[in-house]
């Protein structure tokens, strides 16, 4: 369907050398987009790029505002427009809140929320001048819920959803659509410790109406929808892809 066709558009996905980011990159490529992979490990980025025909890499630290701006501005000057941005880079740290290290808290803030501001602003400045652009921020089921040991992570993902609303409020009038995807529990490297824990997996299967872990490929449809013309009047929305976990007690 033409509404979902991304042919001729370029998509930058942060944190896309593995996990959800790489799965979304592959999915958008299948929908026709040219892919720009981002991360800090150039070897991992190069390996990921071999899995996506025509993909290019753009290595930079998403937590460094000046380097983000220089990388985005430089890429646009050399190669042309970034039409779609997926802010996917993120990290997790599990410790009871009373023992949570202050330095880990700061890293979570920088990686999970400040990066969304840095990269979002750098790309939006170009999108605004073109009166078109798509920004998709990766939130989490923890945008709406909390679990023991990850309170700071929960705070950052709640902030992602509200920053998404703010982006839409400021930038919709310039032709941008800014939305978020909130994944539930997916089998990813970030969740490897939980996937390997039989007790947690058994709890998750009972807690989730779908009765299982999500597979990263199941996020692609939501991403293609929000990246395409099919979502031309969708703005400031957080789309939960979670097997129903936020819908049930």
Residues near 158 by beta carbon (within 8 Å), at least 6 away in sequence: 142, 143
d(CA 105, CA 50): 35
Active-site option among 75, 100, 153, 225: 153
Give yes or no: 153 in active site: yes
Catalytic residue set:
153
């Amino acid at each position: 369907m033409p509404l979902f066709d991304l042919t001729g558009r370029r998509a930058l996905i942060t944190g896309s050398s593995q996990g959800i980011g790489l799965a979304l990159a592959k999915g958008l490529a299948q929908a026709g987009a040219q892919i720009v992979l981002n991360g800090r490990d150039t070897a991992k980025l190069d390996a990921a790029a071999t899995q996506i025909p025509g993909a290019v890499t753009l290595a930079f630290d998403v937590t460094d505002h000046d380097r983000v701006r220089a990388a985005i501005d430089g890429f646009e000057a050399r190669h042309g427009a970034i039409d779609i941005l997926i802010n996917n880079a993120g990290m997790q740290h599990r410790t009871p809140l009373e023992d949570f290290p202050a330095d880990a808290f700061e890293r979570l803030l920088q990686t999970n929320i400040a990066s969304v501001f840095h990269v979002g602003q750098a790309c939006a400045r170009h999108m605004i001048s073109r009166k078109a652009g798509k920004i998709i921020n990766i939130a989490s089921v923890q945008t709406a819920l909390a679990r023991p040991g990850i309170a700071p992570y929960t705070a950052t993902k709640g902030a992602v959803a509200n920053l998404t609303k703010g982006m839409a409020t400021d930038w919709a009038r310039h032709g941008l659509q800014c939305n978020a995807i909130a994944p539930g529990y997916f089998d990813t490297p970030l969740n490897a410790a939980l996937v390997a824990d039989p007790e947690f997996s058994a709890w998750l299967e009972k807690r989730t109406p779908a009765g299982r872990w999500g597979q990263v490929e199941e996020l692609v449809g939501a991403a293609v929808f929000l990246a395409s013309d099919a979502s031309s009047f969708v703005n400031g929305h957080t789309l939960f892809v979670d097997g129903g976990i936020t819908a049930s007690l």
